[in-house]
Structure 1
Amino acid sequence: MSPLEPFGTRLRHAMDERGPLCVGIDPHASLLAEWGLNDDVTGLERFSRTVVEAVADRVAVLKPQSAFFERFGSRGVAVLERTVREARAAGALVVMDAKRGDIGSTMAAYAESFLHKDAPLFSDALTVSPYLGYGSLKPAVELARDNGAGLFVLALTSNPEGAEVQHALRPDGRSVGATVLAHLAAENAGQRPLGSFGAVVGATLGDLSSYDLDINGPLLAPGIGAQGASAADLPAVFGGAVRNVVPNVSRGVLRHGPDIAALRESARRFADEIRAAVGSG
C-alpha cells in the first residue's frame, strides 16, 4: 500500500484486516521494573523492541508515548525513532502520542518533526491539542494532508480536569468539545472510506449521545482495560460511530510482558472482544 494514501484509508484497511485495536507503548519506570528491566536506555530499548516484535505484525495501530522516551534525552529519542521505523516496517500504523499544541512557526516545527515523510520520527498520525484555538493546528493539518498522515485531536478526554475546558460553553451555547468535533467533521467532509482527522474521546465517559461523534473520522478511545472500561461498553458510549472507534489498550496488554507469546495472546483477546462489540453495535 502506498505510504501516500491518506491515513484514513490506510487505517480503515488496517482495522478491517487486523481488528480495531491500538496498543500503547508506555515504558514508564514501574512497568520496566515489572518486566525485570532497569529504568535506563537499555531497558527502554528492550521493552520497546519486545512490544514491536510481539504485536506490530498483527495489530492495526501502535501508539508510543513520546514522553517516556524523551525523558532519557537524545538516546531515548533514538530508541523512539527505531521503534517507529520497525513498527511501521512490520505493518502497524504508528500514532505518535505527543499531544503537541502551539501557534505559528512553532506548531509548524512540531508538525515537521512528526508528519513530514522525510523526518526521522515520521508517524502515520500525531496526537495534538487544540486548546490554543483549533485554527492553531492549521500547519499540522496541512502537512498531515500533504504527507498522507493524520491527526488525533483532543476533544473529550477521560481525565476529570479536562471537563473544565472541554465542557465549557461558548457564546453560541455549544461546548468547546463539541466545537472541536465540528471542526474535525468539516476536515473529513467527503472523504471515503474514512477521513484522516480524528478525535480523542475517552471510553470511560459513559453516554455521549448529546455529542455528534459522527465526524467521518476515527475516534481514538483510551480507557479500555486498566482504566476501567471494557470492549462491551463501546456501543453504549459511541453509538452509531462505534465502527470508527480505535480503542487503545496499554497496561492491559503490556502487563503480560516480557513474554512474547503472552503479549500476543492478550492483544488477540482484546482485538477479538472489540471486534465482537463493534459488530454488535
Structure 2
Amino acid sequence: MTLEPFGTRLRHAMDTRGPLCVGIDPHASLLSAWGLGDDINGLERFTRTVVESLAEHVAVFKPQSAFFERFGSRGIAVLEQAVADLREAGALVVMDAKRGDIGSTMAAYAETYLRKDSPLFSDALTVSPYLGYGSLRPAVELARESGAGLFVLALTSNPEGAEVQRAVRPDDPAGRTIGAIMLGHLADENAGEEPMGSFGAVVGATLGDLSSFDLDINGPLLAPGIGAQGATPADLPAVFGPAVRNVVPNVSRGVLTYGPDATALREAATRYAEEIQDAVAATD
C-alpha cells in the first residue's frame, strides 16, 4: 500500500483531531507515580494504558525510544506493539530516536524506522543533523519513498543546544547560525509541496521570540516544552509567529501525570488540545 506523503497525512490529522502530540515517556519516576514497577511489566501496562486511553482521540504520538530500549529486546517488543496499535487506531507516530550518523549506518537507521515493512515503521522519525545535513540523505530518500517524514533538530529547548545551534558558520555568506541553516535545508526539501511538506524541524516552545529565524519552512514544527517544561499553549503565537498553524505542540508529563486513570488522561489531553486550538485560532 502506498501512503500519502507524511505532510499531507499530518495536515489532515491536525485538522480533524487537533494538533496535539502526546509524548509516551515511561521513565522510572513516572512508572512509580502510577504505582507501577520499573520493570517490563510496568512498562507494558503503562504503554497499553496510554494507547488504549488516547489512541482514538489524539492526532500524533511521540514515543521516546530510549525509555523502551533500556529494557532490552522485551522493551522493544512493547514499543513495536504500541506503534502498531497507535497506527491502527488512526493516529500518527513520530518515533523520537534522534538518530544521526553517516553512510551505511544512517541508511540502516532509516531502514529500521522508515521502511514500510519494518516492525518499527513510524510515520516520522526525529534525527540529528550535526554530522552535517547531508549525512541525513539516506533517511530523506527513504522517507520520500515510504511516505514518511523527518523532524530535524534545529532549535532545541535544552540550554546546551545553543552552543551548536546558535553558532555562526564562518563561511556562510549570510552569516547564518547553524540552526537557521538547518531550517533553510528543510525549506528546500519542502518547496512546492501541498498542503505542506514532510520534512519538519524540532523547535522548542520555551525559546521565546524566534522572529529572527525564518520558521516558514512549508513543513511541520515539532514543539516540545509545553507543560512540565514551562511553556503554555498561549505562548505558541508569540514564539512561532505566522508559522504557528504548522506547529505540532508536544506534551508529555502534562498529560501522563494524570494516569493511570483513563478518563483523567483523556480529559487532560482534551484540555491541552482545546487550549492549543484556541491559541492558534486567535491568530487568524
Specify the TM-score bucket, using the shorter chain as the normaliser.
over 0.9
Where do 1:16-27 residues align within 5 Å? 16-27=15-26
Name the amino acid aligned to 1:44: L
Q: Which residue of 1 aligns with 2:106?
A: 107
Match of 1:258 among 251, 257, 260: 260
State the SS of the aligned residue for 1:130.
Answer: coil
**Secondary structure in structure 1 of the residue aligned to 2:97:** strand
CA shift for structure 1 position 4: 1.0
Task: Indicate the SS of the match to 2:147.
Answer: coil
| 2:12 is the counterpart of 1:13 | yes
- 2:90 paired residue number: 91
Q: What residue number does 1:36 align with?
A: 35
Aligned residue runs from structure 1 range 92-241, under 5 A: 92-171=91-170, 172=172, 173-241=175-243
State the TM-score, normalizing by the size of structure 2.
Answer: 0.98
Aligned counterparts of 1:49 and 1:149: Cα–Cα separation in 2: 24
TM-score between both structures, scaled by the size of structure 1: 0.99
Mapped partners of 2:196, 2:52: distance in 1: 28
Rounded Cα–Cα distance in structure 2 between residues aligned with 1:37 and 1:63:
21
1:3: how far off? Answer: 5.5
CA deviation after TM superposition for structure 1 residue 136, in Å: 0.1
Runs of 4+ in 1 over 6 A off after TM superposition: none
Amino acid at match of 2:248: V
- The answer on 1:57 being equivalent to 2:56 is yes
Number of aligned residue pairs: 280
Unaligned runs of 5+ in 2: none
Residue 150 of structure 2 aligns to a residue in which SS? strand
Superposed CA RMSD: 0.6
User: What CA distance in whole angstroms lies between the structure 2 residues aligned with 1:57 and 1:88?
Assistant: 10
Identical counterparts, % of pairs: 80
Instruction: Specify the alignment match of 1:4 in structure 2.
Output: 3
- Counterpart amino acid of 1:208? L
Q: Tell me, which stretches of 5 or more residues in structure 1 are unaligned?
A: none
Cα deviation 1:132-187 (Å, max 9, x = unaligned): 00000000000000000000000000000000000000122110000000000000
